[in-house]
Amino acid sequence: MRKILISLLTLFLITFYTQAYTSPENKAVFQLGNDKFTLNNQEQSMDTIPIVKSSRVFVPIRYIAYACGIDDKDILWDMSTQTVTLNSNNKRLSAKVGSKQLVNNGHVVDMDVAPVMINDRVFLPARWIAEAYNYKIEWDQASKSILIYPRGNIKPHPPEQPAVLLVNKTHRLPDDYHPDPLDNYNGYQVSKSMNYPLQALFTAADEQSINLGINSGYRDVESQQQIFNERVSQLGLQEAKSAAALPGYSEHQTGLAVDLEGDSNAYSWLKANCWSYGFILRYPKGGEEITGYSYEPWHFRYVGIPIASFMHANNIQTLEEFIDTYISD
């Protein structure tokens, strides 16, 4: 009987410790400003984006949990205390918004920053969650990405392209730049990624009896040079530089920018509602010194709903300000 009890106890302890210390298996990559992340080489979508805050990279806790193999059922949110609790492999982590204390199985761990609530999501530097589950975490400066992977394992590959493409007077497109696949919208070429959002924007405007048109989409180098030359002949060189971009410095060459037609009512509606469809007014009134261009109520840039809604919720007027504040580390 004693041997049986010892055997059962041994089996229980082996099972317990195997469950408690299951080796990490996942590999994940989060990139600043990117609403997509990779988990075991599969692209996943988020409803928000990783950002820089207080010189640290903050990632939504829910998606860090996914990267560590934690399912939705084991991610708990207590609204009354604003506390996120993760349960997995006999480990219980609790983090409270505004508190620098992470509770790990009842033991308090002091963090250098506190979780923050942004747009109804709780953010925290990924290292505190990942390391608690025995993952290694690494920063890739070139791609501005966080890599999460099992210790002693080959790290995942970071993205090759920036999450947010900034094109302005000081940020030139690479000489070998080629836009993403293009599609046709009402006779104009636009990036395939924004064709459906553009259709949704036009449909919503029509439902509100807002008349919209489009008069420019993707432009190649030759077309952009022609437009710039026309502005020079009309306005002179100095004024032309505030009204049009030189080839290589134009968002239209990305296929992600459109010039829309409408009356003052249409432009007011677009300014108030474009973010819901992933667009931003690229050259707003009052932002001339930041963007380098005169106010253009017709020029809209597609950045995707997560970024557009983030900018809207945080009253960020220009793409330059967004990148400088939340993407540049």
Whichever domain contains 197, its CATH number is 3.30.1380.10
pLDDT of 148 strictly over 80:
yes
**Average confidence (pLDDT) over 19-39:** 83
- Those residues whose C-beta lies under 8 Å from the C-beta of residue 202, and which sit 6 or more positions away, are 212
Q: Check residue 20 and give its pLDDT.
A: 44
Catalytic residue among 131, 239, 288, 296: 296
Q: Are residues 232 and 306 in the same domain?
A: yes
The answer as to whether 187 is a domain residue is: yes
Let me know if 289 is a catalytic residue. no
Q: Which residue has the higher pLDDT, 54 or 306?
A: 306
Q: Are residues 132 and 186 in the same domain?
A: no
The whole-model pTM stands at 0.85
**Average confidence (pLDDT) over 249-268:** 96
Q: Are residues 188 and 64 in the same domain?
A: no
Which residue has 């932002």 as its token pair?
Answer: 287
Q: Check residue 2 and give its pLDDT.
A: 54
pLDDT of 86 strictly over 50:
yes
- Euclidean distance between the first and final Cα of the chain, in Å? 64
**Average confidence (pLDDT) over 163-174:** 92
The answer as to whether 169 is a domain residue is: no
181-190 contacts at long range (C-beta below 8 A, 24 or more positions apart) = 182/218, 182/255, 185/214, 185/217, 186/213, 186/214, 188/214, 188/215, 188/216, 188/217, 188/218, 188/258, 189/217, 189/218, 189/255, 190/217, 190/218, 190/255, 190/256, 190/258
The answer as to whether 18 is a domain residue is: no
Domains: count for the chain:
2
Q: Are residues 213 and 139 in the same domain?
A: no
Residue 135's domain comprises 24-150
129-138 confidence digits (pLDDT tens):
999 999 999 9
At residue 213 the predicted structure's pLDDT band, cuts being 50, 70 and 90, is very high
CATH of the domain at 29: 3.30.457.10
The answer as to whether 250 is a domain residue is: yes
At residue 17 the predicted structure's pLDDT band, cuts being 50, 70 and 90, is very low
Q: Are residues 206 and 133 in the same domain?
A: no
pLDDT of 3 strictly over 70:
no
pLDDT of 24 strictly over 90:
no
Nearest to 131 by CA among 64, 44, 63: 64
Q: Are residues 188 and 133 in the same domain?
A: no
Q: Check residue 23 and give its pLDDT.
A: 60
Q: Which residue has the higher pLDDT, 32 or 5?
A: 32
